[in-house]
Amino acid sequence: MELFVDKVRITVCGGRGGDGAVAFHREKYVASGGPDGGDGGHGGSVILHVNDNLSTLLDFRYKRKYAAQAGAGGQGRNMSGKRGENLIIQVPRGTVVRDAETNQIIVDMSTGEDHVIAKGGRGGWGNNHFATPTRQVPRFAKAGLPGQERDIVLELKLLADVGLVGFPNVGKSTLLSVTSNARPKIANYHFTTLFPNLGVIYVDEGVSFVMADIPGIIEGAAEGAGLGHDFLRHIDRCRLLVHVVDVSGSEGRDPVEDFDAICAELSNYSVDLSNRPMIVAANKCDLLMPESDNLERLRKHVEEAGCQLYEISAGTTQGTKNLMRVVAEKLRTLPPVTVYEPEYVEVIEEAGTPEELQIEHLGSTWVITGKWLERLILNINFDDYESRNYFDQQLRKCGLFKRLEDMGIQDGDVVDIYDIEFEYQR
């Protein structure tokens, strides 16, 4: 049996930027060619793309981490590294993307526009950027920056105009099959429908709509009972609900009680959903016993609740065409399918300033942290003497040494900078 997966959590990572190159121009008859190390290529980004041929998130069931390609390192002769390839992740239309930590909506993949969900890191500068009149032979370059990494939740909410709701085995799948091009599996037992089915209903030339058959809801569904809770989210977007009720009493159920029970579940799940426009389809009228008052009792109860009731028999198609015409007319007066607005506000990390560096004194050890310093370290090759000198100059220039001396640092004390330790000497 095909699995229907409609909610997954994955990790996406942009590619790391390539490192800048340390190189010097070497050519016959050309003296002192100077530095010509090229820049590293930018890392690839992770991009979400709508694929209308997908109907579930099944592809994400077993693979949970997606990383774009890293950028290539720079080369001599001022040759930049190749940019990392973007990673395209295909999702079904109607997928809502949330931030895993805050549960806020990042983007609703309903419009068909691509969305960059994890940006690649910038490539590092080659050593040609660091040449100055006083430093003509820079032997260091910038390292590439890491790409953005984040955990996200993909949640599929079907894009349907109409949602069929009701208890299991009331005839929702049959109604969808006789009015549309959908062919759901139908059998006479509960929970026949294990995942939503979509069908396009053509009422007239130029008049059509999408209808979804949602798995049967049982009492307690809003609290997680049965299958209903998992799939109630798929009618969040529906502009109109068609509530299918079995009036035949063939299974010993009371249609009025069934109607109230489903309405209660919709209300428990979402107040907004309980206020959604609704049409009631009294199904299996052909099986109604002559002495039964089920239909009249239901009609009176439904009209008191402010809904219209239509008699149908999905099995014999009696009244189904008229019902679809009524639905199409009703849809003309309703607003379009909901597209969720982003709630998540992305915080762009600032590079920081030297003034924001934090100094912590622990005995004879001084621990220094700060975004500015963290980025500076990425650009330093500590195996190279000239690169270390450049690091020392930057710390002296930003006033860090003076701050340490004012705080009482002594010769021989240990300075810890992101697990790299130095012995302090004036």
**Could you say which architecture CATH assigns to the domain 354-423?**
2-Layer Sandwich (3.30)
Give the Å distances, CA to CA, from 193 to 22, 93, 106, 222, 320. 63, 21, 31, 18, 20
Q: What is the percent of the chain where pLDDT is above 90?
A: 34
51: how many CB neighbours lie within 10 A of its CB?
15
On average, the pLDDT of the chain sits at 83
Looking at residue 405, the DSSP 8-state letter turns out to be H
Overall average pLDDT of the 43-56 stretch: 90
What residues does each domain of the chain span?
A: 1-156, 162-331, 354-423
Lowest mean pLDDT among 91-95, 145-149, 328-332, 420-424: 420-424
Yes or no: say if 377 and 357 are a contact pair by the CB < 8 Å rule: no
Overall average pLDDT of the 73-96 stretch: 92
pLDDT at residue 146 above 60?
Answer: yes
137: how many CB neighbours lie within 10 A of its CB?
12
Overall average pLDDT of the 122-129 stretch: 86
Yes or no: say if 231 and 191 are a contact pair by the CB < 8 Å rule: no
Yes or no: say if 230 and 237 are a contact pair by the CB < 8 Å rule: no
Using CA atoms, how far apart are residues 193 and 173, in angstroms rounded to an integer?
8
pTM, two decimals, is: 0.71
Residue that wins the pLDDT comparison between 402 and 337: 402
Tokens standing for 72? Answer: 């290539």
Domains 1-156 and 162-331 share a fold: no
Per-residue pLDDT, 220? 53
φ, ψ (nearest 5 deg) of residue 281:
-110, 110
Domain 162-331 has CATH 2.40.70.10: no
Per-residue pLDDT, 206? 80
Give the Å distances, CA to CA, from 30 to 26, 128, 129, 393. 7, 17, 20, 31
Q: What are the tens digits of pLDDT across the range 261-291?
A: 889 888 888 888 888 999 999 999 988 888 8
pLDDT band at residue 30 under the 50/70/90 scheme: low
Greatest distance between any 2 Cα atoms in the chain? 111
Q: Say which CATH class 1-156 falls into.
A: mainly beta
Using CA atoms in the order 163, 220, 99, 275, what is the torsion angle rounded to 10 degrees?
50
Q: What are the tens digits of pLDDT across the range 348-397?
A: 555 667 778 888 888 788 888 888 888 787 767 677 677 778 888 888 88
Per-residue pLDDT, 221? 44
Task: Looking at mean pLDDT, say which of 13-17, 160-164, 368-372 comes out highest.
Answer: 13-17
Per-residue pLDDT, 185? 53
Q: Which residues does residue 116 pair with via DSSP β-bridges, in sequence order? A: 47
Give the Å distances, CA to CA, from 177 to 32, 126, 281, 328, 403. 80, 64, 15, 17, 77
Lowest mean pLDDT among 27-31, 296-300, 359-363: 27-31
Per-residue pLDDT, 326? 95
- Which long-range contacts (C-beta less than 8 Å, at least 24 apart) are formed by 416-422? 416/365, 416/366, 416/367, 416/368, 417/368, 417/373, 417/377, 418/369, 418/373, 418/374, 418/377, 420/377, 420/382
pLDDT band at residue 43 under the 50/70/90 scheme: very high
Q: 354 in helix, strand or coil?
A: helix
Tokens standing for 9? Answer: 């959590």
Place of tokens 């053509």: 202
Q: What are the tens digits of pLDDT across the range 168-201?
A: 888 888 898 888 876 655 444 444 445 677 788 8
